[in-house]
Structure 1
Amino acid sequence: MSNKAYSLLWNTRQLSTLVPRSRFLRIYPPGFCRPEVIPSKWNPRNCLLNGFGEGLQPSVRYLFQGVLKSVDCCTQTKGTGCAAVFKLDRVLCPRRLSSDSEHFLVSDGASDHDLMKINSHHASSEDVLSKKMRPTPVNHDKLVQECNSLSDVLDTFSKAPKFPSSSYFSAMWTIAKRISEDKRRFEIQLMFNHSAFSQLCEQMMRESMIMHYNHLLFSLNAVIKLGVPQNTLMVQTLLRVIQERINECDERCLSILSTVLDTLEPSMNVNALRAGFRILVDQQVWKIEHIFTLQTVMKFIGKDTPLALKKKLEMKTLKELDRFSALNSQHMFEVLAAMDYRSVVLLNECSKKVIDNIHGCPSKVLISILQSCKALRYQNKDLFKRIADYVATTFEIWKLNQVIFFLLGFENLGFRPSALMDKLMEKVMEDPDSLNKKNIVSILHVYSSLNHAHKDQNREFLEAMASALTVYLHHISSENLLSAVYSFCLMNYFPQNLINQLIKKNIINELLTSGDTEKNIPKLHVLNTCLKLDESAYYKAVHIPLPQLPLPLPYPSDRVAEVLSHLLKGEGCFSRNVQLPHNYHIDFEIRMDNNRTQVFSFSDVDATSGTNMQRVAVLCVPKSAYCLDSNHPRGLLAMKIRHLNTMGFHVILINNWELRKLRMEDAVAFVKMKIYSDGAFPTTDTTV
């Protein structure tokens, strides 16, 4: 065998050993590594990923020059070859070639000493080739610093496109976030019209199979945030690739993917990706190390997540409670609300840490905690009281809007922060001109709903609020005016200017035909009732034609009826489900003498027709009619008691949840104490 033939075989064997054929088949999907005809003129300055169709793969024919010269009689290749695949291996995959043109391929007559020299310099020669063929990746931070608009990023791409394309999309979204909303819309429109945008999208789709998985997720997030429609080919391609490569998702990618899924609209690909994400979370939940990652996954995993997975996430979180920081505890409320999972044990533990670290906690976080407690139906009076006391103690550092947001959060929970509400009343009376329309309506809503009144300053406060709202009388919407007057009526205050404006025919017709009529009609009924039962004769002649409201559903009161039967020896001494004028309903009516020492039977005509009779209304009241963990009635219940008193009733409130805890004997004694006056029970002298 000649030296030339031996040299050819030896070099071929070494090349196949260093770069096995299976490597390319394993790494590259079909269509990415097929042989192409390489143009004879190739400029090495062009970016290697400029395009997959136009001179993308440079010829590495110089690697084989020694072989081609020696065996040109057997090889007819000139400017073509499958060796172009090496270019993709170097550019698209972080793996090195194990060859170099200067040391690897051996010429004729190479000695053993020369071969030993080749082996000794193998490592350094590998680095030389790697440096020659490795492209310079585009830097996201550098793009953000050098470019001032989205079009600048696309201009940079069109001049010299580089790998990866995800950096361009991420840079555009970073720039878009730091500009105003109007300018952002204008910039995004220019981005869509830019000639290089479609080229960037095509390159993004081509690179999606070989891009790092976290870059792929960042790209999808940026593309959606930039307003690219979700039904476009690029977005759907990214979704499919993310599905196919979801096993590459590590802990960091789990956090990114959960955030991205929250921004996507439901579709077949999104639903499939979300299902795969949940399976992945179910498998990797015990491997998650960072608390922030765990909370991010829980927040965006979705309310429709299977209960078993929610319980597993809860167990993982309880296991990590010892590592929770104050910020983790504060964030946990929002996480559970987003997942729609009420874990009382977890909420109790986080509440303790929030209470211990409440000083310096931002207002947004505290307000978010209150909103989350409402969504989770979680009631913790100690937590609410601590937040209210903290805001009241540091009242001067808060803006008026922040205090109002706190009060709205407390009102949603039914909690009455007396000290904080008194502070705000003083602030309003000192400077009522600082209030705008929205503030006035919100403050009136909170104070009327929680039925809060200051003993000495209540009248002054209501007058100040009415005076402040009168300034905006001709600039306020009909619905806001109705809400404000409705709140005044609940608090038994009737500003004449506001009511005269509201009861005009055109405004009443507007409220009955447009807007939220389901809320407007009950409020108008309350106004109509208050004008007839509470105010002077000037308003008694006013009649507002309104559609009839449906009869209220009776509150379950079987236990109370059973107790009254035992106490009054039969059902003839009380009437059940009594309907009164003005759409009022009482659960039980009892007729007694004026001193409330004796009960009359309804069949006793003489007793009931006499003047010595007191009508007693027994109301079975749910917990929601009171402020949280108190016997302080809220606005509607307080107004109903006031109106029943005006109609001649003595009102007795029975709390069903308290009655259910008692045995029958104790329940009878409890109701007896409620119905009969103190004079009905004999007093005994006690000798010491």
Structure 2
Amino acid sequence: MHNKAGFFLWNLQQLSIAVPMSRTMKLYPLRFCRPATVYLSWNPKSHLFNNSNYSIQTSNRHLFRTASLFKSNSYTTQTKPISTVTAFEVDKHLCLRKLSLYSKQALISDDGVKKRSVHHETSNEDDFTKETKPTDTDNRKLFQECNSLSDVLDIFVEDPTLPSSKYFSAMWRIAKRMSDDQIRTEKQLMFNHPAFCQLCEQVMQEAMVIYFNQLVSSLYAVVKLGIPQHTLLVQTLLRVVQERINECDGKGLAILSATLEAMEPCKNVDALQAGLRILVDQQLWNIEEIFTLQTLMRCIGKDAPTSLKRKLEMKALRELDRFSVLNSQRMFEVLAAMNYRSIPLLNECSKKVIGTIHGCPLKVLINIMQSCRDLRYYNSDLFRAIADYITVTFDVWKLKQVIFLLIVFENLGFRPVHLLDTFMKKIIDEPDILSMKNITCILHICSSLNHVNSCHTQEFLKVLTSALTGYLFHISSENLLNAVCSLCLMNHFPLAPMNQLLKQDVIQELLTSGDTERNANKLDILDRCLKLDIPHYKAVEFVLPQLPSTPLPSNKKAEQVLSILLGDGYFLKHMWLPHNYQVDFEIRMDTNTNRVLPVSDLDVATSADTQRVAILCIPRSVYCLNSTHPKGFFAMKLRHLKLMGFHVILVNNWELEKLEMDDAITFLKNEIYSPRALPAADNEFNKHMLK
């Protein structure tokens, strides 16, 4: 006892020498952290690799004036009295990273004094580390013996021999295997447990002395368990990680990046993410694990410098030979999280996905396609392989899974013909599986992609119309508008849904509530179809608001070609037609002589001996991906232009821009004077004009 007391007094004396002054501050157990008082002065560029001595900050930047323990909509509010403690500025050498609060060793100084222990003497640092570090057996035992989060807290109260980080890690591992309802109940019990606040306080106290990987594991578990980010516990751990970020190794980088990815932006998170980017830049070429590399790529975010993104791309390309199937599948989401389109990486990963697509979960395939959409990466071979795989295994998937996949295909503009045919046959054979929400989605997909199957289309539309009619008294006005508009795009006009939609009160509701501009655009489409496709239909007249005008394309090269080929007085540009349609160029041809008429003769020309020709300069977006199949709205425009008496010539902008002027003139000459334009024209004259 005398030796113990002497040793304690000696340590107290050394501590008083190292800390000449103290400061008193108010401490709240697990209080909220005011966003305005979080640590703001940390500069990762100047402190990240600074090895000079530092002291524990005693500022109350992480403290709240209130004594509230939690304040959340789903958790009850608890309060604790304010306690006052004295915080000392401790020298760095007195703060040992490998020291646990429950280790059997006493404080050890660096001044050559002999290390003391209650049970034995040791001079080997490895032995010291081995004794203070919990074994994997202890961690497994803690995980296996507990079936709930409260069980872990009970063990913490009975025998708190492990670092506090292990208890939080065990609770997170247990929570991962629970259902959503069960984890919601278990979290409530955890927050109400009397030992929870004590465990949180111990985590904050041990933050400076435990291993760094244990520290970031604690932060990860705390965040994943749903503890509010603005609490003192989370903000303290973030701040300590900032101070100790120099100790981060490859494993720590992976855990830390996964943690930051799951957190909302705030001052401490942003500062730590900036420091992480600097660490990644410094340690990039030492990273060996592909999973760690991908986790870091996800975490650095879209705002990372382009130079860092390029370095990560080079590192990933260097490791391509070591990519597993899972790594290749995951790379799409990783690049989307970075907002960095690396064509070489995406192409190589696409090949691996195509080669190993059988057995791939549908959720993974959907994530890949969504990432391709975000990256504007359109690989028709990849999309076709996914569509063929789903078609072959169609009976395995649920209807809502296939519909969601088709929605992603529609967003990409890709038309999976065989999959859509199989899907239409499924709907025809089993119409009872349709719900109100499914009907609207299915009609939108088929109309947007303009998918017409000669064998099943009419029967398919009848089934959908019959199902839609059954929901007329339950469907909302906007959903009814969407469904009817989709049917109109497909040139199908069922009377019952249209009569219900065209009631005066329904029209008034659509034009005064919800997304009025979007509703007005759809009503405009409906109005065009009623007046052109079924002019005999007596509909209620409705006045639409003024729709915003779209900017007209220049089409300078096409205009130059027409000027050389026909002359300036033989065509009109940017013509507005009835029913709010616009064509880029219009010319008129005499059907008897097959010649282009001057603009001055248009007024005297009769409709019997003239043919109106509309020249449309179109972008790729009006077609389905890598095809010449027009999408829904453009297909409707072509149909209506023909009903108005036009022969339509399509000029692909991207192809015309590549052609030399002579080739472009030849191309348009072939289109204008081709036998397709005027079937009754003299073929000999056409041959002469094409020479």
Match of 1:194 in 2: 193
- In the TM superposition, what is the alpha-carbon distance from 1:287 to its structure 2 partner? 0.8
Q: Percent identity?
A: 57
One-letter amino acid matched to 1:550 = P
Distance in structure 1 (CA, Å) of the matches to 2:593 and 2:490: 29
Match of 1:250 in 2: 249
Match of 2:238 in 1: 239
Mapping 1:392-431, distance limit 5 Å: 392-431=391-430
1:542 and 2:557 aligned:
no
Distance in structure 2 (CA, Å) of the matches to 1:374 and 1:636: 21
1:485 and 2:458 aligned:
no
- In the TM superposition, what is the alpha-carbon distance from 1:164 to its structure 2 partner? 1.0
What are the Cα deviations for residues 390-448 of structure 1, in whole angstroms up to 9, with x where unaligned?
22223222322222222222211111111111111111111111122222222211111
CA-atom RMSD, angstroms?
3.6
Mapping 1:584-623, distance limit 5 Å: 584-594=581-591, 597-604=594-601, 607-609=604-606, 611-623=608-620
Distance in structure 2 (CA, Å) of the matches to 1:92 and 1:235: 27
1:441 and 2:456 aligned:
no
- In the TM superposition, what is the alpha-carbon distance from 1:231 to its structure 2 partner? 2.1
What are the Cα deviations for residues 454-487 of structure 1, in whole angstroms up to 9, with x where unaligned?
1132111110111122222222222222211111
Partner secondary structure for residue 588 of structure 1: strand
Aligned length in residues: 598
1:333 and 2:348 aligned:
no
Match of 2:556 in 1: 558
Judge conservation of contact 1:449–1:634 (CA < 8 Å) in 2.
yes
Distance in structure 1 (CA, Å) of the matches to 2:468 and 2:476: 12
One-letter amino acid matched to 1:657 = W
- Aligned match for 1:90, one of 83, 105, 124: 105
- In the TM superposition, what is the alpha-carbon distance from 1:158 to its structure 2 partner? 2.8
Match of 1:166 in 2: 165
Distance in structure 2 (CA, Å) of the matches to 1:181 and 1:86: 35
- In the TM superposition, what is the alpha-carbon distance from 1:202 to its structure 2 partner? 1.0
- In the TM superposition, what is the alpha-carbon distance from 1:100 to its structure 2 partner? 6.9
- In the TM superposition, what is the alpha-carbon distance from 1:610 to its structure 2 partner? 5.5
1:652 and 2:649 aligned:
yes
Distance in structure 2 (CA, Å) of the matches to 1:136 and 1:445: 58
- In the TM superposition, what is the alpha-carbon distance from 1:99 to its structure 2 partner? 5.7
Mapping 1:61-460, distance limit 5 Å: 90=105, 139-460=138-459
Judge conservation of contact 1:366–1:387 (CA < 8 Å) in 2.
yes
CA gap 1:184/1:575 in 2 versus in 1, 3 angstroms: same
Distance in structure 2 (CA, Å) of the matches to 1:286 and 1:102: 45
Match of 1:677 in 2: 674
Mapping 1:464-543, distance limit 5 Å: 464-539=463-538, 541-543=539-541
Match of 1:75 in 2: none
Match of 2:628 in 1: 631
- In the TM superposition, what is the alpha-carbon distance from 1:91 to its structure 2 partner? 7.4
Judge conservation of contact 1:588–1:617 (CA < 8 Å) in 2.
yes
- In the TM superposition, what is the alpha-carbon distance from 1:250 to its structure 2 partner? 1.1
Partner secondary structure for residue 579 of structure 1: strand
Point out 4+ residue stretches in structure 1 off by more than 6 angstroms. Answer: 24-32, 84-89, 100-104, 129-138
Judge conservation of contact 1:596–1:676 (CA < 8 Å) in 2.
no
CA gap 1:596/1:492 in 2 versus in 1, 3 angstroms: farther
Mean CA deviation greater in 181-190 or 347-356: 181-190
* TM-score (norm. length: structure 1): 0.80
Partner secondary structure for residue 620 of structure 1: strand
Distance in structure 2 (CA, Å) of the matches to 1:305 and 1:617: 48
Judge conservation of contact 2:410–2:449 (CA < 8 Å) in 1.
yes
- In the TM superposition, what is the alpha-carbon distance from 1:266 to its structure 2 partner? 1.6
- Computing the radius of gyration over CA atoms, which structure comes out larger, 1 or 2? 1
CA gap 1:300/1:518 in 2 versus in 1, 3 angstroms: farther
- In the TM superposition, what is the alpha-carbon distance from 1:566 to its structure 2 partner? 0.8
One-letter amino acid matched to 1:221 = Y
- In the TM superposition, what is the alpha-carbon distance from 1:553 to its structure 2 partner? 2.0
Judge conservation of contact 1:334–1:368 (CA < 8 Å) in 2.
yes
The structure showing larger relative contact order (alpha-carbon pairs under 8 Å, at least 6 residues apart) is 2
What are the Cα deviations for residues 24-75 of structure 1, in whole angstroms up to 9, with x where unaligned?
999999789xxxxxxxxxxxxxxxxxxxx99xxxxxxxxxxxxxxxxxxxxx
CA gap 1:505/1:102 in 2 versus in 1, 3 angstroms: closer
Partner secondary structure for residue 264 of structure 2: coil
- In the TM superposition, what is the alpha-carbon distance from 1:194 to its structure 2 partner? 2.9
5+ residue gaps, structure 2: 20-50, 58-83, 86-98, 676-680
One-letter amino acid matched to 1:314 = E
Distance in structure 2 (CA, Å) of the matches to 1:421 and 1:103: 76
One-letter amino acid matched to 2:585 = F
Distance in structure 1 (CA, Å) of the matches to 2:607 and 2:469: 49
Judge conservation of contact 1:298–1:339 (CA < 8 Å) in 2.
yes
CA gap 1:101/1:554 in 2 versus in 1, 3 angstroms: closer
Distance in structure 2 (CA, Å) of the matches to 1:388 and 1:229: 42
CA gap 1:552/1:397 in 2 versus in 1, 3 angstroms: same
Distance in structure 1 (CA, Å) of the matches to 2:530 and 2:587: 28
* TM-score (norm. length: structure 2): 0.79
Distance in structure 2 (CA, Å) of the matches to 1:431 and 1:586: 43
Distance in structure 2 (CA, Å) of the matches to 1:363 and 1:191: 35
One-letter amino acid matched to 1:90 = Q
Match of 1:4 in 2: none
Distance in structure 2 (CA, Å) of the matches to 1:282 and 1:574: 60
Distance in structure 2 (CA, Å) of the matches to 1:557 and 1:145: 71
